[in-house]
Chain A
Amino acid sequence: MAKKRLGMQTVQLEQPPVIIGAGSAAGPMEAEGPLGLDFDQTYPDLTIGQQSFEKAERQMMIDACNLALKKANLTQKPPQIDYFLAGDLLNQIITSSFSGLQLAVPFLGLYGACSTFCEGISIGSMLIDGGFADKVLCAASSHNAAAERQYRYPTEYGSQRRPYAQWTVTGAGALVLASSGQGPRVTHVTTGKVVDMGIKDPFDQGAAMAPAAVDTIVTHLKDTGRKVDYYDLIVTGDLARFGHEMAIRMAGQQNVVLDERYKDCGMLVFDPERQDVHSGGSGCGCSAIVTAGHLLKQMAQGKVKKLLLVATGALLSPTTFQQGDNIPAIAHAVALEA
């Protein structure tokens, strides 16, 4: 077995890379949510002064990247970054590649649906620990209206949503990983497998992704020999309320008790009492802004010391569900220690 591997799916980083800067940019609804004050930049409307929602998402990702670079004191142009790893939900990951054009640094585009942020941190950490890079910029984004028009209906189309449906987060998060410096460290990476538990309803992504999240969490604990209480916080990406509940049940069946230290970014980002979001938030931007805006700040303040971040992605397209395929899902975990 390769010398840095632990168990089936986990990698232990010999010299844990450091998160030296993070930036978050969030839309108007997210700004009004419970974490509104944590985000570095918010916008009063969905278009962000751009001609289209796609261009708006691009602007958000660039803003988030610049914020992260600024905090990492990398203000030269072009930035001193060895790799830019980014992904989003739009076809051909256009947000990421057009942002890559502006940043003018080596770019690798990623697609892991809403698990992309953790996929980026995973690959970036391995690139650094492998000695192939000194600084890596990771980013992920989603835009509610741009995602709606691609996956579901035109934005002005009137329909009643299911109570378990989720609301795509408008936001972008970015962080800079470095081989040395001050900040939380990425100690372990657990790469998920594609899991299909037979869910077909494209509105029920929480239920589709919960088994993938549990699979990755259980495997991570087994590979590292840790228990749930090793972590101060275990956070999934965007299962939202119903998916969170299903994840707790599924984990319980495998004798892993996810207690109050288990949270979900889709539940943290919106207030279900005040905001009409049904089950909660979703999208690449969900785990990205909650991590970059909220969780990393909690770590900097010493409130959270050990964090397991598990971003979850539903690997569907309008073509697959219209052709009757199930919704496969994936979850990638990274362990962060202050």
Chain B
Amino acid sequence: MKIKQGTSQQSQQALYKQMVTKAEPKPPRLRNAIAAFLTGGLVCLTGEGITDFWEATMGITHKQAGDPTVATLVFLGALLTGLGFFDKMARFAGAGLAVPVTGFANAMTASALEFKREGLVFGIGGRMFQLAGAVIVYGVTTAFFVGLLASLLKMFR
């Protein structure tokens, strides 16, 4: 592949892009997938353990124990972020830590920690949702439309 001088900018750019895509080092997808599978599974296993624990100690049903479990995992994610371990663990785990609720906790806590220096209102208050805000906006929007669809289906059934 040779980029010819004097040809149009678009064709030079297109050729360069091909050159780059071909040569650029690829992320180790298989390794990342295995790491995500193992760590994601480990997070879920921990979650199950925590659910069993709340079920036994608080005398509630397994389903009811789900809520305190989420809170516990969020707490753990936030704690590990604050202690400076989460980003190092996530570098290995990737999606395994990002997809469960621990990733959400990390996005919130990391932003809050980062912008603490700009003050409580404009720093922590204004910037805490910088990363996690999108998850909430589209989570709520999706939930609204799914709920709407579900109730419509119920009406016409």
Chain A residues in the interface with B (C-beta under 8 A): 51-52, 149, 153-164, 196-199, 204, 207, 211, 242, 245-246, 249-250, 253-254, 276, 279, 326
Kindly state whether residue B24 has any CB partner on chain A within 8 Å: yes
Interface of A is mostly: loop
Kindly state whether residue B109 has any CB partner on chain A within 8 Å: yes
CB distance from A245 to the nearest CB of B (A): 7
Whether B13 and A197, one on each chain, are in contact in the complex, defined by CB atoms closer than 8 angstroms, is yes
Specify which chain B residues have a CB less than 8 angstroms from the CB of A149 in the assembled complex: 114
Stretch of B54-62, B91-99, B138-146, B148-156 contacting A (4+ beta carbons < 8 Å): B91-99
| With A158-B97, A204-B20 as contacts: A198 and B3 at CB distance below 8 Å | no
Besides A156-B86, A156-B109, A198-B16, 14 other A-B contacts (C-beta < 8 A):
A153-B110, A154-B110, A154-B113, A155-B110, A156-B82, A157-B87, A157-B131, A158-B90, A158-B91, A158-B106, A160-B27, A246-B20, A249-B23, A276-B91
Whether A155 and B114, one on each chain, are in contact in the complex, defined by CB atoms closer than 8 angstroms, is yes
Whether B91 and A52, one on each chain, are in contact in the complex, defined by CB atoms closer than 8 angstroms, is no
CB distance from B113 to the nearest CB of A (A): 6
Alpha-carbon distance A279/B94, docked complex (angstroms): 19
Kindly state whether residue B72 has any CB partner on chain A within 8 Å: no
Alpha-carbon distance A326/B17, docked complex (angstroms): 12
Question: Can you name 25 A-B residue pairings with CB atoms under 8 Å?
Answer: A149-B114, A154-B113, A154-B131, A155-B114, A156-B82, A156-B110, A156-B114, A157-B106, A157-B107, A158-B87, A158-B97, A159-B94, A160-B91, A160-B94, A161-B91, A163-B25, A196-B9, A196-B13, A198-B14, A198-B17, A207-B20, A242-B24, A245-B23, A246-B19, A279-B25
Chain B residues in the interface with A (C-beta under 8 A): 2-3, 5, 9, 12-14, 16-17, 19-20, 23-28, 32, 81-82, 84, 86-91, 93-94, 97-98, 103, 106-107, 109-111, 113-115, 117, 130-131
CB distance from B14 to the nearest CB of A (A): 7
Residue of B nearest to A278 (CB): B25
Residue of A nearest to B12 (CB): A197
CB distance from A144 to the nearest CB of B (A): 13
